[in-house]
A and B are shown apart, each in its own frame.
Chain A
Amino acid sequence: MNRIHLTPRENWQQKVEKSGLVYHTPNGRPYWDESVCYHFSSREINELEAATEEVQKLCLAAAQFVIDQNRFDQFSIPEAARPAIRAAWEAEPPSIYGRFDFAYDGEHPPKLLEYNANTPTGLLEASVIQWEWRQEVFPATDQFNSIHDKLVAKWTDLRRYWRGNRTVYFTSMRDDEDLLTVSYLRDTAQLAGLATEHLFVREIGWNEKTGTFRDLQDRPIQSIFALYPWEWLLRDMAKPVLSSCGQMDWIEPIWKMLWSNKALLAILWEMFPNHPNLLASYLDGPHGLSEFVRKPLLSREGANITVHKGGSEASTAGPYGEEGFVFQDLAPERSWEGMTPVFGSWYITDMGAAGVGIREAAGVTDNLSRFVPHYFD
């Protein structure tokens, strides 16, 4: 694995914008950064791919374990949501994707940092923007990236599962990145032959008389992809949302609360201690770890993270932590010029490991970290 300096393409801003990445330089800070890239060997890519497939299997076992052992308390999941989670886990309603974040130094096995299984973003740049970059800059090489094809294949499966014409709704907050993420997902669904519509979360209607969620034309919603996490859905409208589970498809399904919660990391370590792709993780304290990271069970974008390293601690700000924390061992990491990469490895449901997107940061990987493209040969 090497980190290579490059001269960015001429007019790269216009090129990435044309494909949808308008948030390449938010508030004047670079996010898409093609002045550097990562170069892998086939062995390293195979290792990342195998780790993704392996950890997906571990997570399936972990979710079953949590349900069987009734460990919902450790996830701070409300009592009212548990029957719907159990029912969805058994019924297997549609699910599309998730992104594992791995630490990887090219020498040790990839180590799972967390599983963003509910509302992962960074999708467009991983699937489309870096692919187009590789085609132009390194056309003779390859990239660990079949995200687009696997998404279309998954929607094609779902079109058969739904057996007929139905509109799939995509909803997001009024945020550019979120809107563009669901717009790209709409593209992949439409390529599979599905009809799609977008509405913002505030526009979703609830009809008490019929017990249905409705679109802007007051038509009942049968299937909706919501880039809006389950803990927020439950806080906003628990009763209607829970009553709708099983009556309509919420994508991702409610059982994803078990994977997008960092208590999963402690469950995985309890079930598979010393697994090469896992880091020691505990819910009730650091258990003697001398250097560790404390993460809120539900934090997003690197918020409220405390890193205990070298006898000192550094924290990021944010609104999370009320629900509890996980204490996770520090991963072996390799930095270049002070920048440490995190490997976001995409898993498309039933289709498998689909590709990686790399973000690098000088400290905790957050919404200010940079997305850096890659290739391998």
Chain B
Amino acid sequence: MKRSKAIQTSIVASVAATLLSCEGTPPPTRYCVDQQQRVLDDRECQQTTSGGHVWYYGRSGYVPTGTRISGGSFQTPSEGFTSNSVSAEGGTVRGGIGASGEAAAGHASGGAGE
């Protein structure tokens, strides 16, 4: 059962180093919000006719539509951002997978491992 050589890994060591440094801080998330700062589908801000619907940048991770959020900024961050739910031109929608895990993470260790 012995191995004849040392285990070689590169990705996991690199990711670990990133997590240990400040670079591990996730970028802010971009949300489309209405005037009451309630989260809308991203498409509401991608249409030029959607008056009063603007982009808002916070650090909360994914937030379902209808939730009121605060603690962020309307200024576009210089270091980039991730999207809460993207409806791209080609019709690809992101953010659909993850809600169940995030709901469970509120009760347990935070991950999906068993």
- Which A residues lie at the B interface, using CB under 8 A? 17-22, 116, 118-122, 124, 127-128, 131-132, 135, 142-146, 148-149, 172-181, 183-184, 186-187, 190-191, 196, 200-209, 214, 218, 227-229, 231-233, 235-237, 240-241, 260, 300-301, 303, 317-319, 355, 367
Contact = CB atoms under 8 A, between A and B. Distances in A.
A218 B98 contact: no
Given A22-B19, A318-B107, A202 B95 contact: yes
21 contacts: A18-B13, A19-B9, A19-B12, A19-B13, A21-B16, A128-B12, A132-B6, A144-B1, A146-B1, A173-B112, A175-B105, A180-B16, A180-B19, A187-B8, A191-B8, A200-B98, A207-B90, A228-B101, A232-B112, A233-B97, A319-B108
Interface residues on B, range: 35 or more
Contacts of A149: 3
Contact of B10 (A21, A121, A187): A187
A181 B113 contact: yes
B111 interface: yes
Given A121-B111, A173-B102, A301-B108, A207 B92 contact: yes
A131 B1 CA distance: 11
Given A19-B13, A229-B112, 14 more contacts: A121-B114, A122-B113, A148-B3, A148-B7, A173-B112, A177-B111, A183-B14, A184-B11, A187-B11, A205-B92, A227-B111, A319-B103, A319-B104, A319-B106
Given A173-B105, A206-B93, A207-B91, A178 B3 contact: no
A100 to B, nearest CB: 12
Interface string B49-68: 00000000000011000000
Interface string B61-82: 1100000000000000000001
9 smallest CB-CB distances across A and B, nearest first, come from A121-B113, A175-B111, A232-B100, A367-B109, A20-B12, A205-B92, A319-B107, A178-B111, A116-B114
Contacts of A191: 8
Contacts of A204: 94, 96-97
Interface string B1-31: 1110011111111111001100000100000
Contacts of B19: 22, 176, 179-180
Q: Is the interface of B mostly helix, strand, loop or mixed?
A: loop
Nearest to A191: B8
Contacts of B16: 17-22, 180, 183
Contacts of A236: 96-100
Given A22-B16, A176-B19, A204-B94, A132 B111 contact: no
B48 to A, nearest CB: 22
Given A18-B13, A232-B104, A175 B110 contact: yes
Contacts of A120: 113-114
Contacts of B113: 119-122, 177-178, 181, 227, 300-301
Nearest to A101: B114
A180 B108 contact: no
Contacts of A18: 13, 16
Contacts of B62: 202
Interface centre among B13, B101, B110 (most CB of A within 10 A): B101
Contacts of B45: none
Contacts of B104: 232, 300, 319
Contact of B109 (A201, A206, A260, A301): A301
A22 B112 contact: no
Contacts of B95: 202
Contacts of A21: 16
Given A145-B1, A218-B92, A301 B20 contact: no
Given A22-B20, A149-B3, A184 B101 contact: no
Contacts of A190: 10-11
Contacts of B9: 19-20, 128, 184, 187
A192 to B, nearest CB: 12
Contact of B112 (A148, A175, A184): A175
Contacts of B82: 203
Nearest to A120: B114
A260 B105 contact: no
Contacts of A319: 103-104, 106-108
